[in-house]
Amino acid sequence: MTEFAVVIPSRYASERLPGKPLRDIAGKTMLQRVWERGIASAASEVVIATDDERIAATARGFGASVCLTDTGHQSGTDRIAEVAAALGWPDDRVVVNLQGDEPLMPPGLIRQCAALLDDAGAGMATLASAGMSEEEFRNPNVVRVLVDQDDFALYFSRAPIPYSRSRDTDGLARASALRHHGIYGYRCDVLQRLVAAPPSVLERCEKLEQLRALELGIRIKVGRPAERPGPGVDTEADLAAVVRLVEQGRK
């Protein structure tokens, strides 16, 4: 497969969990646990991108490469694009956005996401799982994606899509939707094109940045994860659940 890099965008501020990257998970910061997943993926480079000196100092302390980025970035994608430009990565370089609140992301899934860009028709790549429960399907915090017959994304939404017009097709609608996982791969030229464009109409409505890519005509390849990712961390309850899994040796 194509060689790839991993960038972990990390910021200190979080409305629901302040200082999230530096929170402790069974003796290590969440940031270190995410970085270790990136290292274990066999990426050629793993870089932590942050605008916070506390995060930078912690990362250097456990041996990570750090790139200090602009404080004005609105998204992790903007932060990653700055890293790619600063390090002079070529247009065809593949980079995976490993989010800083995914301490249980299996390294194999990072490789799988990067490998999807071996398809020359794909400008971006991501992962999504089948088999949502009814509760997940109705939950606006769960992002759904619909794909075409070649597994390219048709649309992402926080709404339960596709809409079923009758009870007879309720199960079919839920089976058609995949649960999106927040990991992305890009080629660097596509990454720079994406951040150069303003937020799109659909993106502004759904608060989903990947819709900007679709509106720009960038094709997103969607892979089914070889294993289900562990839970991400957005709240104190999420953090407690991850700590329990790590302490029990289940992740």
| Per-residue pLDDT reduced to its tens digit, 220-231 | 999 999 888 888
Q: Domains in the chain, start-ordered, CATH in brackets?
A: 4-247 (3.90.550.10)
What is the mean predicted confidence (pLDDT) over 119-132? 94
DSSP letter string, 112-131: HHHHGGGSTT-SEEEEEES-
pTM of the model: 0.92
What is the mean predicted confidence (pLDDT) over 197-212? 95
pLDDT of residue 32: 97
What is the mean predicted confidence (pLDDT) over 194-204? 95
- Helix (H) or strand (E) holding 185, with range, is strand 178-187
Q: Is the pLDDT assigned to residue 14 strictly greater than 80?
A: no
pLDDT of residue 1: 65
